[in-house]
Amino acid sequence: MFTLFKKKSEKEQLQKKYRALMEESYKLSHTNRKASDDKQAEAQETLNRIEQLQE
């Protein structure tokens, strides 16, 4: 019950954002390659921030 009000850590938020960006990038890859590449680059930046937090 107490986890209902628990705030997610920055790492958890970034991981969720990374997964969403990768999924969107995959969907865009079928129709618009440039937009897919942009989402992939944004996802990579997010992954870099996650790795920085782990250090």
Q: What pLDDT, on a 0 to 100 scale, did the predictor assign at position 1?
A: 53
Apex CA 24: angle with CA 39 and CA 53, to 5°?
A: 60
User: Mind listing the pLDDT tens digit for each residue in 31-49?
Assistant: 999 999 999 999 999 999 9
Residue listed under structure tokens 């969720």: 16
Structural domain including 31 reads 9-54
Whether residue 28 is contained in a domain is answered as yes
- The share of the chain scoring above pLDDT 90, in percent, equals 76
Q: What pTM does this model have?
A: 0.83
Count of domains for the chain: 1
Q: Where are the alpha helices (DSSP H) in 1-55?
A: 10-28, 33-54
Q: What is the DSSP string of 24-35?
A: HHHHHTTT-HHH
Whether residue 4 is contained in a domain is answered as no
pLDDT at 24 over 80: yes
Whether residue 41 is contained in a domain is answered as yes
